[in-house]
Structure 1
Amino acid sequence: MTCSPSRYDQDPEAIAWARAKVQAEIERAEQLATDLITVGDPDNEADRWILLARHLRRWLLGDTTSSVMGRFDERLPELYRH
C-alpha cells in the first residue's frame, strides 16, 4: 500500500493546527502527572503520564535537542511530510 502526501501535509496552517493539538495533549498529560504527584500518587500513575508525554513529544513533535525528528516537526523537508 502506497501512501501519498495529502494536501494538508503541505499546508502550514494545518501543520500548525496539528502541532497545537498535540502540544495541548502533551501539556495535559504533564499536568495530570503533576496533579498526581501533588496528591501523593499511591499507585505511581504519574510515571505513566510522564512517559506518555515524553513519547508523544519525541514521536510527534521531535526532539529539538537532538537529530530526532517527529511527524509534525517543522525541520522536516517537505518531501518527508506525510
Structure 2
Amino acid sequence: MISGASQWSKAGDDATKEAFHVSELGLLGEVLHCKHLAGGFSAVQVASVLQGRIELFEKTADRMTIFRNVDELIRAGWTID
C-alpha cells in the first residue's frame, strides 16, 4: 500500500535514497535492512536492486513486496534500518 508523503524525517528519506543508490553501484553488502513506520522489519537483496526493482521481504509477515523505485518504497512507509 502506497500512501502520500513519507512520515520519516527528511534525513531518514535521504539516507534511504543514498543507501539504495550506493547499492546500485555495488558498494554495499548483499542485503539492505529496512524498517516500517508500523514497526515491521524487512530485507532487500541488493541483487534485485541491481536488476531494477526492489524486492522487499517482510520478515514478520513472511511476504514479498516489489517496488519499482526507492521513492515508492519510502511512500509505503519504509526506510533504511
- TM-score norm. by structure 1 comes to 0.34
**Bigger helix share:** 1
Tell me which of the two structures has the higher relative contact order, counting C-alpha pairs closer than 8 angstroms and 6 or more residues apart: 2
- TM-score norm. by structure 2 comes to 0.34
* Greater C-alpha radius of gyration: 1
